[in-house]
Amino acid sequence: MNIKAVREQFPILHQEVNGHPLVYLDSAASSQKPRSVIDAVSRYYEHDHSNVHRGVHTLGSRATDAYEGARSKIASFLNAADAEEIVFTRGTTAALNLVASSYARAVCKEGDEIVITPMEHHANLIPWQQAAKATGATLKYIPLQPDGTLSLEDAEQVITPRTKVVAVTYVSNVLGVINPVKELTAIAHRNGAVMVVDGAQSTPHMKVDVQDLDCDFYAFSAHKMCGPTGIGALYGKKSLLAGMEPIEYGGDMIDTVELFESSWKEAPYRFESGTPIIAGAVGLAAAIDFLEQIGLDEIDKHERQLAAYAYDKLSEIDGVTIYGPRDNRVGLITFNVDDIHPHDVSTVLDAEGIAIRAGHHCCQPLMRWLNVSSTARASFYLYNTEEEIDRLAEGLLQTKEFFGHAIG
């Protein structure tokens, strides 16, 4: 992969921040956008914008073709069996809420179980808390190993014939670990449960095949994979989507409306009420084209190399604690520096033009498991380089020196 050529396609990277060349190490929160995605969204608004599905005029047809074309492209990208297994949402959070509110609340009852893990992002935790409270189901957790990984033996113990839903992140946004989703899916299915996968941190970085995983639902967001904000999708097996009720009502999701009764379109359209995020879908399709042109396998290989390099580089710095295993991780490193708050670390690095994330990363239960209140996180993507990791390491040394003098 030609990193220089890749970087040239991201206009935002060619700037200085606080007098220094920008080093953007916060892609796990939101990735930057290549020129092709920016141009696709702009071109849609300049030439093709109209509402979809209803209009019979030329612009309406163009917009509808672009929107439904994006649905088909996502289906191919995930290797879904049918484009109608793709529901457009506002992102991963909305997709997971849809499954928890529509599917889980319909199938769960008192005595049933919903199984998740302590490493889940709040978006894949709170909806299941609420579903359990609403139905009387029990929320259970697969425990973490000391290094933050999951044990299939533990999963076999926690998932039982009472389990209706297993919901697990494919990749932890804090620990960087890649969970054995395919094996967990098999365990869930043997016990009669469905498997829900939070793919927010996996979809941008590796090739995903939902048929091979055999998961029942898979959620992801465009903005973490070079696409626009405010758009994402839910993959759901056709048989499951067909039995689910919508949770939002209004225009474009209806079949017929009477004064006192209404009926809905077939899935996925029953879940897409109102005017959809058309430009976002166009941008997401362009992002998929961009990523596939480079190659997900190449991106995965590049990021794993960066993660290993960063792990070793930061491990050499006294007082730096890294969370999660060295191996089998995607391109992010979560860490703390002794006696320096992560927000202070981030502030000093920002003065050097280095953007990282600091806080609990929407994973407060995981922070408590790690016995910390917050951490710093540097996350890498296809446009990052080892030289930028060197600058991160230098910045951390400067941070330690600055606070050492301040304390002294």
pLDDT of residue 1: 83
pLDDT of residue 55: 76
Q: CA-to-CA distance for 12 and 18, rounded, in angstroms?
A: 15
Beta strands 86-89; 232-236: pairing state: antiparallel
Least confident of 120-129, 287-296, 395-404: 395-404
Report the CATH architecture of 37-293. 3-Layer(aba) Sandwich (3.40)
In the chain, the amino acid numbered 238 is K
Is 362 one of the annotated active-site residues of the chain?
yes
Beta strands 332-337; 375-379: pairing state: antiparallel
Cα 216 to the center of its chain, rounded Å:
17
Percent of the chain predicted with pLDDT > 70: 99
104: number of Cβ within 10 Å: 24
CATH class of 3-25+295-407: alpha beta
**Three-class HEC string of 30-87:** CCCCCHHHHHHHHHHHHHHCCCCCCCCCHHHHHHHHHHHHHHHHHHHHHCCCCHHHEE
> Token pair of 2, please?
């030609």
Cα 181 to the center of its chain, rounded Å:
15
Could you tell me which residues come within 8 angstroms of residue 2 by beta carbon, excluding any fewer than 6 positions away? Answer: none
Q: CA-to-CA distance for 296 and 99, rounded, in angstroms?
A: 27
The residue written with tokens 């696709």 in the block is 40
Q: Considering 215, 226, 362, 363, which one is annotated as catalytic? A: 362
Collapsing DSSP to helix, strand or coil, 110 comes out as coil
pLDDT of residue 328: 85
Could you tell me which residues come within 8 angstroms of residue 327 by beta carbon, excluding any fewer than 6 positions away? Answer: 308
Beta bridge pairs of residue 61: none
Burial 155-187 (b: 16+ CB within 10 A, else e): beebbeeebbbbbbbbbbbbbbbbbbbeebbbb
Give the model confidence (pLDDT) of 81-114 as tens digits.
999 999 999 999 999 999 999 999 999 999 999 9
Give the model confidence (pLDDT) of 307-316 as tens digits.
999 999 999 9
Give the model confidence (pLDDT) of 363-393 as tens digits.
999 999 999 999 999 999 999 999 999 999 9
Q: CA-to-CA distance for 294 and 221, rounded, in angstroms?
A: 19
Locate the domains of the chain by residue range: 3-25+295-407, 37-293
pLDDT of residue 405: 54
pLDDT of residue 296: 97
Give the model confidence (pLDDT) of 348-367 as tens digits.
999 999 999 999 999 999 99
Positive or negative torsion for Cα 368, 371, 374, 377 = negative
Q: CA-to-CA distance for 200 and 220, rounded, in angstroms?
A: 4
Mean pLDDT of 304-309: 96
Question: Quick check: 109 and 250 in contact, CB under 8 A?
Answer: no
Least confident of 120-124, 131-135, 251-255, 334-338: 251-255
pLDDT of residue 54: 78
Angle (CA) 19-12-198 rounded to 5° is: 120
User: What is the secondary structure of 348-403 as a DSSP string?
Assistant: HHHHTTEE-EEE-TT-HHHHHHHT-S-EEEEE--TT--HHHHHHHHHHHHHHHHHH
pLDDT confidence band for 327 (50 / 70 / 90): confident
Burial 380-407 (b: 16+ CB within 10 A, else e): bbbbbbeebbebbbebbeebbeebeeee
pLDDT of residue 155: 98
pLDDT confidence band for 407 (50 / 70 / 90): very low
- DSSP conformation class of 340: B
| pLDDT of 408 higher than 50 | no
Q: CA-to-CA distance for 225 and 290, rounded, in angstroms?
A: 10
- The overall average pLDDT reported for the chain is 96
